[in-house]
């Protein structure tokens, strides 16, 4: 690994969703001179949503991407040093903590706040990846518009899939919904809504075998996992709504996580198993996963980091 440059900072924040930017606002105001690396998706998951109606302070709602620009501007105005770059490796074995950005720049930090969020899961089919962006999507709210008046399919049976199927049912002629078991995981009320929608067709015990199409989605080949019968449904869009996974892989060697990779924090705090390393937002929260809870936990992480650094006489 090229190790051409290194830089020492007091407080390094990794991630640029509501958690990372809120941590940056608090850390900057506490004179911790935070440096924030945005990762590959500056603004995080909210940049791939449309209207946000449940973030307090926006009485008329706000577009997700616009809200994240506001978050960034506020953090920058407070003095946070916001940079484009992806943390690719860490070494938390000793102080100062080492974090490599884009595999070459080395940052040495007295405190680290992990706010790397979570990403959509994929089925893992070659055709799904090849046609990603050409009819395959993991965000109905972002891409449903392109399939107005057309037939689409969706896979998943949780609340997200139910919500997205209902969203698509308002735009599309038919929504073919694949459920791999004989029941849905979604909450009762969402299940009822899905089952009542006249143009959502449910396929129980069914899985996607292949997304059919050269340069764009033309159909979906599905298989009933009880009978092994296959059929091909002509669709223009295929939505994958099978959950999310935390972006925590680079921390695995050092930080305690649950079996799904969510970082464990000490209840009531943002503290991880390593003193001086804190976690906030969706990377440590599989329950609430809201912008406002992520922002709240980013605030906690900055306050915890400040206490830690001031106890050490660093800030």
Question: Do residues 268 and 101 make contact, with C-beta atoms less than 8 angstroms apart?
Answer: no
Candidates 10-18, 107-115, 144-152, 179-187; binding stretch for ligand NDP (CB under 6 A):
179-187
> Judged by CB under 6 A, does residue 261 bind ligand NDP?
no
Please give the Cα distance from 125 to 135 (Å, whole number): 14
One residue of 28, 30, 217, 242 binding ligand NDP per CB under 6 A: 242
The nearer residue to ligand NDP, 73 or 181, going by C-beta atoms, is 181
The nearer residue to ligand NDP, 1 or 188, going by C-beta atoms, is 188
CB-based closest residue to ligand NDP:
158
User: Is 299 an annotated catalytic residue?
Assistant: no
Q: How far is the CB of 243 from ligand NDP (least distance, A)?
A: 3
Question: Do residues 201 and 176 make contact, with C-beta atoms less than 8 angstroms apart?
Answer: yes
Collect all residues with Cβ–Cβ distance below 8 Å to 104 and sequence separation of at least 6: 1, 2, 3, 4, 5
Candidates 98-106, 153-161, 215-223, 300-308; binding stretch for ligand NDP (CB under 6 A):
153-161
The nearer residue to ligand NDP, 80 or 208, going by C-beta atoms, is 208
**Neighbour count for residue 173 (Cβ, 10 Å):** 12
Convert residues 75-114 into a mask of x (bound to ligand NDP by CB under 6 A) and - (unbound). ----------------------------------------
Between the alpha carbon of residue 273 and those of residues 174, 252, 263, the distances in Å are 49, 12, 9
The nearer residue to ligand NDP, 38 or 284, going by C-beta atoms, is 284
> Judged by CB under 6 A, does residue 158 bind ligand NDP?
yes
User: Is 142 an annotated catalytic residue?
Assistant: yes
User: Is 143 an annotated catalytic residue?
Assistant: yes
Question: Do residues 41 and 47 make contact, with C-beta atoms less than 8 angstroms apart?
Answer: yes
Which parts of 274-313 interact with ligand NDP (CB under 6 A)?
289
Burial of 311 (0-12, 13-18, 19+ CB in 10 A): exposed
One residue of 157, 165, 194, 315 binding ligand NDP per CB under 6 A: 157
Residue 96: asked if its preceding bond is cis (omega within 30°), the reply is yes
**Buried-exposed string 27-57: b where 16+ CB fall within 10 A, e elsewhere:** bbebebebbbbbbebbbbbbbbbeebeebee
Binding site for ligand NDP (CB under 6 A): 123, 155-161, 163, 180-181, 185, 207, 242-244, 289
Q: Catalytic positions, please?
A: 139, 142-143
């Amino acid at each position: 690994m090229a190790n051409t440059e290194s830089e020492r900072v007091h407080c390094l924040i990794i991630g640029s969703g509501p958690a990372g930017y809120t941590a940056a606002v608090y850390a900057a105001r506490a004179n911790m001179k935070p440096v924030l690396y945005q990762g590959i998706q500056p603004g995080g998951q909210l940049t791939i949503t449309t209207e946000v109606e449940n973030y307090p302070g926006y009485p008329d709602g706000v577009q997700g991407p616009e809200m994240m620009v506001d978050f960034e501007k506020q953090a920058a105005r407070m003095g946070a040093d916001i940079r484009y770059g992806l943390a690719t490796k860490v070494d938390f074995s000793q102080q100062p903590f080492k974090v490599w950005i884009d595999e070459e720049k080395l940052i040495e930090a007295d405190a680290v706040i992990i706010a790397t969020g979570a990403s959509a899961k994929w089925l893992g089919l070659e055709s799904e990846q090849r046609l990603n962006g050409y009819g395959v999507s993991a965000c109905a709210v972002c891409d449903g518009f392109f399939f107005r008046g057309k037939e689409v399919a969706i896979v998943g049976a949780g609340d997200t899939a139910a919500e997205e199927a209902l969203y698509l049912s308002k735009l599309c002629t038919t929504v073919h919904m694949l459920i791999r078991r004989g029941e849905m995981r979604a909450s009762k009320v969402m299940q009822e809504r899905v089952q009542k929608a006249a143009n959502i067709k449910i396929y129980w015990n069914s899985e996607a075998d292949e997304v059919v199409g050269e340069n764009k989605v033309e159909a979906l080949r599905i298989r009933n996992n009880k009978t092994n019968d296959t059929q091909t449904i002509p669709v223009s869009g295929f939505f994958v709504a099978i959950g999310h996974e935390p972006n925590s892989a680079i921390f695995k060697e050092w930080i305690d996580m649950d079996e799904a990779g969510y970082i464990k924090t000490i209840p009531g705090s943002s503290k991880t198993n390593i003193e001086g390393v804190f976690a906030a937002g969706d990377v440590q929260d599989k329950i609430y996963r809201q912008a406002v809870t992520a922002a709240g936990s980013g605030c906690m992480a900055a306050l915890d980091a400040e206490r830690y650094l001031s106890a050490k006489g660093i800030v």
